Amino acid sequence: MCLGIPGKIIEIYQSGGLKMGKIDFGGVTREACLEYIPEAKIGDYTLIHVGFALNIISEDEAQETLKLITEIAEIENESDAQ
């Protein structure tokens, strides 16, 4: 486990008493349940697993991680060059 894919919330609505959303995965859309991320807004990116949003993806953390990793990767390039 577990197949969780990031997608963007493009619509929010109620269905069967549950907070649901239309999620955009790079051009492909599917419905998902947003009950577990009550604070979600349109435009948020979320992790979807079996039709449920499990969390909102933090853009800040994502940037931070990538920056760190890129630095590590660049240190390598510098060391190689020396």
**Residues near another protein, by CB under 8 A:** 1-6, 8, 16-18, 25-33, 35-38, 45, 47-52, 54-55, 57-59, 61-62, 64-66, 69-70, 72-77
- The nearest distance, CB 42 to another protein, in angstroms, is 15
Please tell me whether residue 1 adopts helix, strand or coil conformation. Answer: coil
Nearer to another protein, 1 or 82 (CB): 1
Tokens 């969780």 correspond to 4
Strands (E), the chain: 5-15, 18-25, 28-33, 45-49, 52-56
CB of 63 to another protein, least distance (A): 9
Residue 39 DSSP symbol: T
